[in-house]
Amino acid sequence: MLHLAALGLVLTSTVTLSSSAVVLENGMPILWAQTASQVTELPVQNGILTPNPWHFLNRQSFYRLMIGATDPYMSYMGKNSTDNPMWGVSMELGWMLTSGRLGDPTGSTTCGLQTGDTMCISPESFWGCMNYFTSALPFLSAAQQGFLGENIQVQLQVPVGVEGFCTTFAECSTSHPDVMSKWDAFYQALKATTESTLPDNEKKDSILGVYWTAKMASTYASAACNAKKNHYSSEEKSFANSWLESAEYVAAAHFHSNLEKSLLFLNPVPSRLLQVGDVAPNIADLSKEENHSLSIFSWMRNINFILGGSMVRMWKGAMCSMTSRERGKELLEQLIINPSFPTTTFLSVITEMSRSC
């Protein structure tokens, strides 16, 4: 059960954010201590797991359980206990909560709003809808592949007002076969890699590649959520589109989305929903870092649009080797967190790298 003190923290964070996005609490994702650390802590009915993916703590529990289940297969990821790439998505979900992006944007219910159930994830939220595909679907695949225990069956709850979301492995495999097959491939690759004789750095790069392939399949499937963007301001809608496009860059670079690295990218993202008239880098109640990241997101999307999509294609082409992907990760870090890093340098380096592939 959610403690009142923890609930108060979320409410306070949501109201008072002004310097940067809140993505951690006591060094862990938001409300991590309130989530399930064992599968048996999730709701069960007639021997079948029945978690509610539209409740924040249940959905965040999916990540905690998947991280715990896959950690034993990822010793080559690093020496820290937070080197699993799934830490990134768990932190994203926490940011969506504290920034108000999981609440009902239509105002027709109090789901996810301070005046209602703050742990409720609204099916009308574009962000909550998009995240369903990167939380519920990989969780169902993990159960199917035996990562959550032997013969674990899962039937996700469908609260009143929720429609159009698959709730079992079989159902999701029918409605989203590409997504489920790629998550299955990720879990199978984890098992196979433990027996591989490849050096650790090659194992790491390989698994990150398979992970991002699955993650991007989920992201592409979340196009089913696109109509929900219309509930927001044009500024928030533009940011959402930029956010989706930015995933192409981090995926191609096999970004190691552990807790430490993900924090670098999530700290400067906007700590509240964008409103009409919010134009970076001059949004008064957002920090310099937030204004900078919004400007960069916008610049990257605009340049790619002007170039007819060729910047994303050029970037993907440039990420042709482990060496170039390492360089690509460094470039992205500089672009997002270093305000003095010139965008012209980013373009020229991509051009140079794509020629060398």
> For 219-251, what is each residue's pLDDT tens digit?
999 999 999 999 999 999 999 999 999 999 999
Predicted pLDDT at 353 = 87
Tens digit of each residue's pLDDT (9 = 90 or more) over 38-50: 999 999 999 999 9
Quote the percentage of the chain above a pLDDT of 70.
95
Lowest mean pLDDT among 19-23, 92-96, 123-127, 168-172: 19-23
Tokens at 343, concatenated: 């965008």
Span 301-310, average pLDDT: 93
How many CB atoms within 10 Å of residue 27? 9
Span 72-95, average pLDDT: 97
Distance separating alpha carbons of residues 265 and 280, to the nearest angstrom: 17
Predicted pLDDT at 351 = 87
User: What does the H/E/C string look like for the chain?
Assistant: CCCHHHHHHHHHHHHHCCCCCCCEECCEECCHHHCCCCHHHCCEECCEECCCCCEHHHHHHHHHHHHHHHHHHCHHHCCCCCCCCCHHHHHHHHHHHHCCCCCCCCCCCCCCCCCCCCCECCCCCHHHHHHHHCCHHHHHHHHHCCCCCCCCCECCCCCCCCCCCCCCHHHHHHHCHHHHHHHHHHHHHHHHHCCCCCCHHHHHHHHHHHHHHHHHHHHHHHHHHHHHHHHCCHHHHHHHHHHHHHHHHHHHCCCCCCHHHHHHHHCCCCCCCCCCCCCCCCCCCCCHHHHHHHHHHHHHHHHHHHCCCHHHHHHHHHCCCHHHHHHHHHHHHHHHHCCCCCHHHHHHHHHHHHHHC
Predicted pLDDT at 10 = 45
Span 40-67, average pLDDT: 97
Span 278-294, average pLDDT: 95
pLDDT grade, residue 1 (50/70/90)? very low
Predicted pLDDT at 79 = 94
Distance separating alpha carbons of residues 344 and 357, to the nearest angstrom: 21
For the cut 50, the answer to whether the pLDDT of residue 136 exceeds it is yes
Predicted pLDDT at 70 = 98
Predicted pLDDT at 30 = 95
Tokens at 35, concatenated: 């989530």
Pick from 133, 86, 18: nearest CA to 262: 86
How many angstroms separate the most distant Cα atoms in the chain?
A: 60
Predicted pLDDT at 41 = 97
pTM over 0.95: no
Span 325-346, average pLDDT: 91
pLDDT grade, residue 19 (50/70/90)? low
Pick from 297, 353, 355, 301: nearest CA to 325: 353
Tokens at 121, concatenated: 């994830």
Predicted pLDDT at 337 = 87
Pick from 81, 89, 82, 129: nearest CA to 105: 129
Using only the alpha carbons of the chain, give its radius of gyration. 20
For the cut 50, the answer to whether the pLDDT of residue 8 exceeds it is no
| Look-up of token digits 């991002």 | 212
For the cut 80, the answer to whether the pLDDT of residue 355 exceeds it is yes
| Look-up of token digits 């409720």 | 120
Buried b (16+ CB within 10 A) or exposed e, 38-52: ebeebeeeeeebbbb
Distance (Å) of CA 209 to CA 59, 136, 252, 256: 24, 21, 8, 10
Quote the percentage of the chain above a pLDDT of 90.
86
Predicted pLDDT at 146 = 97
